[in-house]
Amino acid sequence: MSDYFESEDILKSYDSALMRRLLKYLRPYLAVFLLSLAALLASSAGELALPVIVQRTVDAHILPYHRGLVVSKLPADQLERLGKLDPALRIGDIQYLRVSGLGALSALEKDRLRAQGALLEPNYLVLRGYSDSEAARRVMASRPSLFRTVDGVAVIAEQDFRSLKPGERRALRADDFRGLARAAVWFFLVLAGVLLFTFGQTYLQAYVGQMIMKDLRTEAFDHTVGLSLRYLDSQPVGRLVNRITNDVETVNELFTSVLPSLLRDFVMMGGVLVALTLLNPRLALVTLATLPPVLVLTLLFRSRAREVFRRVRQAVSRLNGFLAEHLSGMRIVQLFVRERFSLGQFRERNDRLLEANLGEMYVFATFRPLVDLFSTTSLAAIIYFGGRFVLRDLVSLGTLIAFLNLIRMFYEPVMDLSEKYNILQSAMAGSERVFGLLDTDARIPEPAAPKALEAVRGAIEFERVSFAYKEGEAVLRDLSFRVKAGETVAIVGYTGAGKTTITSLLTRLWDIQSGSIRLDGTDIREYSTASLRRRVQSVLQDVFIFSGTVAENIRLGSPISDERVRQAVELVRADTFIDRLPGGLEARLAERGSNLSMGQRQLLSFARVLAHNPDVLILDEATGNIDTETEKLIQAALVALLKGRTSLVIAHRLSTIRHADRILVLHKGELFEEGSHAELIARQGMYYNLYRLQYLDEEPA
């Protein structure tokens, strides 16, 4: 098992063909997925809006400073560059313009305007809505020389405003206080919207991922249970379990974690860059100049992280494989006193996992601080250059604050993108393995138009049947025999003669390579496998018990009444131990029936087959693991069970088949002898030797 896990492909690059195939599973839930994407975009837009609200609040209500421009001294081209001017803020020949609005002019142009006397140096505070405040009107009336007014707008120089008393300043800025309250309401409304949309996006995408995972897992399991034993026997159980569980889980991560996060990261990064450019192109260029080192670091991290991630997954797989193997075989480990040796092997694999995890932590411990360093460097550059721009009236303070908030929002997706890239690769590899299983065409072929299999007499005919599990290693060679309807035929032979193979071929668990097997004169390949297996059933030596109740293990999902279950249990004498269990037929059995003895599990398998009432019964060494006392309990039940049915009894203990109608003796896949017990004993051939050897072995007992 460990070798299998080491050979698994852990990572695969992005595959567009695989992605298209995965997206087909999204179609039933496309509306929900699109709704989740809309919620994601809405939450991202809300997050981007929060710094902008802060910027507008600072510039409009906290520091609403303006500069005065003498319009008559402004060149025409500069007037045009300033754009549409607010006529309400023009008093005489002076146009008052927000400091942020002056960003359209370069520092050189501003210096020239100052030299020409066109740009007035002091900052001015523009007061709106003062006429609605009695207190503001009183302040302005007491100091009319400080104010210039026009159409409900008053202008006061910053130094004059600061010379006023605190109460007077508060009265004059009543409108700004109301604006702050409105901005706070908007801020919390947007924040609440972000929380609401984020919840909706997370839940809806989790729903879509879980539904896709459910559909894919169901399809994978349905496909697997229909595969032939030729394929299933060639695959480690751990591999198939891993396909249907862990690999499908990576698909869930793809739809719930990777794709939404990648989309959100790109939206946020793109949105931040757009917002920075719209707020102030000059400062945006400064910000962009700090990004190339981060991009280079991200590419290096992605390459390195892929390598360490691969090592971790391989180490985990090797450790899991070792654990599964040794916990399953703990009986052998303890019987052969290999505990210390196994502990040494476990420590070796555990140490490799430790080294791989530490290597992964080293990469992340290097990358994250470096990203933090570069993000801090970007913030420092913005503060330095932005501060200079603020001092030179190229940028408002609110814009600088917005830049600082937005740049932090930019670096969060940078780290997330690098981590999600590895999960994307793992999801691609897992998807490829799941689809590899789904694409496996190893089913027993079904007939295009299956014949009805209703009233079955049970006549069986093998005609020149040849079969090999592996090419060149024949198990059956031109085997031919007939079983009449209602006849009980025993099949014996040395180990490897092909006895159990006959039962697998008759139920089409395997298909023959040549010849034909007929049931009531019709080749069994003309029936559907489901209908054939309902009519032909086996009792195996190695009984498998599922975790669940006794009754559930008898029914196996079939609509069998309680009365019929009880009759089957009583007929095979299984009630002798079932009634002693807590709950009787509703008693819960442990995995593989570990709370039952071997004989009890075998009795339960007899009740299971009897309740399903097949027309053809196969007993494959069904009493081989039953003690003599338990065997006596079921001998009478076997007589009733076999009566009126066609039965094939494969036996190792020849004493159990003396009363068979006929006995077939196989040797190296060929029919060696045939006859009744008495006839074969009288012939003194292979059967006589088998019986004599077994009789001598059992005689001392």
Would you say 37 and 379 are in contact if contact means Cβ atoms under 8 Å apart? no
Comparing 205 with 572, the larger pLDDT belongs to 205
Contact 88, 148 (CB under 8 A): no
| Rounded Cα gap, residues 609 and 589, in angstroms | 18
Name the strand (E) or helix (H) holding 690.
helix 686-698
Per-residue tokens: 440: 């496996």
Predicted confidence band at 700 (pLDDT cuts at 50, 70, 90)?
Answer: very low
Question: 372-407: b or e for each residue (b if 16 or more CB lie within 10 Å)?
Answer: eebbeebbebbeebbeebbeebbbbbbbbbbbbbbb
pLDDT of residue 3: 45
Does the structure show a pLDDT above 90 at 39? yes
- What's the per-residue H, E or C state across 539-578? EECCCCCCCEEHHHHHHCCCCCCHHHHHHHHHHCCCHHHH
Q: Which amino acid is at 228?
A: S
Write out pLDDT tens, residues 40-86.
999 999 999 999 999 889 888 888 888 888 888 888 777 777 777 77
How far is CA 464 from its chain centroid? 49
Cβ-contact 451, 522 below 8 angstroms: yes
Structure tokens at 98: 């927000």
DSSP-derived pairing of the beta strands 646-650 and 616-620: parallel
- Spell out the long-range contacts of 148-153 with Cβ–Cβ below 8 A and sequence spacing 24 or more: 148/91, 149/91, 150/88, 150/90, 150/91, 151/88, 152/128, 153/88, 153/89, 153/126, 153/127, 153/128
pLDDT average, residue stretch 368-396? 83
The set of residues, in sequence order, having a beta carbon less than 8 Å from that of 658 and lying 6+ positions away, is 677
User: What is the distance between the alpha carbons of residues 390 and 397, in angstroms, rounded to a whole number?
Assistant: 6
> What is the band of 696 on the pLDDT scale with cuts at 50, 70, 90?
low
**Looking up tokens 């293990």, which residue turns up?**
553
Per-residue model confidence (pLDDT) at position 612? 86
Query: pLDDT tens digits, residue range 95-147?
Result: 888 877 777 777 787 888 888 888 887 888 888 777 777 888 888 888 888 98
CB-count burial class (<10 Å; 0-12, 13-18, 19+) for 632 = exposed
Q: What's the pLDDT at 87?
A: 76
Sign (positive or negative) of CA dihedral 348, 350, 354, 360: positive
Amino acid (1-letter code) at residue 477: R
For the record, the structure tokens of 567 come out as 């009759």
pLDDT, position 660: 84
Residue 596 scores a pLDDT above 90: no
pLDDT confidence of 194, banded at 50, 70, 90? very high
* 330 contact partners, CB below 8 Å, separation of at least 6: none
DSSP-derived 3-state class of residue 648: strand
Q: Which residue has the higher pLDDT, 699 or 206?
A: 206
pLDDT tens across 491-538, in order? 988 888 888 888 889 988 888 889 999 999 899 999 888 888 888 888
- Following CA atoms 69, 72, 77, 82 in sequence, which dihedral angle do they give, to the nearest 10 degrees? 30
Q: pLDDT tens for residues 265-285?
A: 888 888 888 988 888 888 888
Indicate whether 257 pLDDT > 60: yes
pLDDT bin (cut points 50, 70, 90) of residue 455 is confident
**Residue ranges of domains in the chain, CATH in brackets:** 2-54+180-438 (1.20.1560.10), 460-698 (3.40.50.300)
